[in-house]
């Protein structure tokens, strides 16, 4: 661990400051008045300026209960839920109550312009087999 300041030397005393012709010691103090505001000069638009250009906001990395990492953190939302959320609809969040209903709700103030569900392909079948009672190949009990 390294600390800086008085008393930080190996024997408890402050380390001596370097001296010599290449070192200048100067105390710093803040300016007495705030800096003057900078006035921006007017200029022509950039050559790349396009009044039709728009910024879009979205999410390209959404995981649902189909991915083990989201499921392991209590996520139970389906891809349909993820897209409904992106469109600005309210969706339920965990934890679930005793009847299996969400105890919290999430909703965006403004819908996203685009969204993509990017669940992992690894473990996709295993998650389904282990979490869906109607799966044709349920895990062995026990």
**Average pLDDT of the residues in 124-128:** 76
**CA distances, 54 to each of 44, 88, 112 (Å):** 20, 20, 14
Q: What is the pLDDT of residue 61?
A: 93
13 is a domain residue:
no
| Angstrom distances, CA of residue 45 to CA of 38, 41, 53, 124 | 20, 12, 14, 51
Whether the per-residue pLDDT at 140 is higher than 80: the answer is no
Kindly state whether residue 31 falls inside one of the protein's structural domains: no
Residue 57 CA neighbour count, 13 Å, CB half: 8
Instruction: Determine the Cα–Cα distance for residues 83 and 113; give it in Å rounded to an integer.
Output: 11
Q: Does a structural domain hold residue 114?
A: yes
The pLDDT score that the predictor gives to residue 82 is: 95
Task: Give the pair of three-digit tokens for residue 24.
Answer: 């200048």
Is residue 10's pLDDT more than 80? no
Cα angle for residues 17, 20, 25 (degrees, 5° grid): 55
Residue 79 resides in a domain: yes
In Å, what is the CA distance from 57 to each residue of 4, 113, 118? 44, 5, 17
Query: Is position 94 within any domain?
Result: yes
Over residues 52-77, mean pLDDT? 86
Q: Where in the sequence is the domain holding 114, given as residue range(s)?
A: 58-131
Flag whether 112 is in a domain: yes
Domain tally, the chain: 1
With tokens 């008393």, the residue in question is 7
DSSP state of 89: -
Predicted confidence at residue 91, as pLDDT, reads 95
78 is a domain residue: yes
CA 44/CA 42 separation, integer angstroms: 7
pLDDT digits (tens, 9 = 90+) for 19-29: 666 555 566 66
Residue 24 domain-assigned (yes or no):
no
| 4 CB-side CA count, 13 A | 1
7 vs 59, residue with greater confidence: 59
What is the pLDDT averaged over residues 47-64?
86
Q: Which of 48-52, 59-63, 71-75 has the highest mean pLDDT?
A: 59-63
Candidate from 11-20, 27-36, 90-99 with smallest mean pLDDT: 11-20
pLDDT: which is higher, 142 or 49: 49
């Amino acid at each position: 661990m390294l600390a800086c300041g008085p008393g930080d030397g190996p024997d408890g005393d402050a380390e001596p400051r370097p001296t010599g012709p290449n070192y200048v010691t100067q105390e710093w103090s803040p300016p007495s008045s705030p800096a003057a505001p900078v006035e921006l000069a007017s200029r022509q638009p950039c050559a790349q300026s396009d009044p039709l250009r728009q910024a879009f906001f979205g999410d390209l990395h959404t995981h649902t209960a189909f991915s083990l990492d989201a499921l392991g953190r209590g996520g139970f939302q389906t891809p349909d839920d993820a897209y409904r959320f992106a469109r600005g609809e309210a969706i339920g969040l965990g934890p679930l109550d005793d009847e299996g209903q969400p105890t919290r709700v999430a909703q965006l103030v403004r819908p996203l312009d685009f969204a993509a569900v990017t669940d992992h392909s690894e473990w996709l079948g295993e998650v389904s087999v282990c979490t869906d009672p109607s799966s044709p190949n349920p895990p062995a009990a026990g």
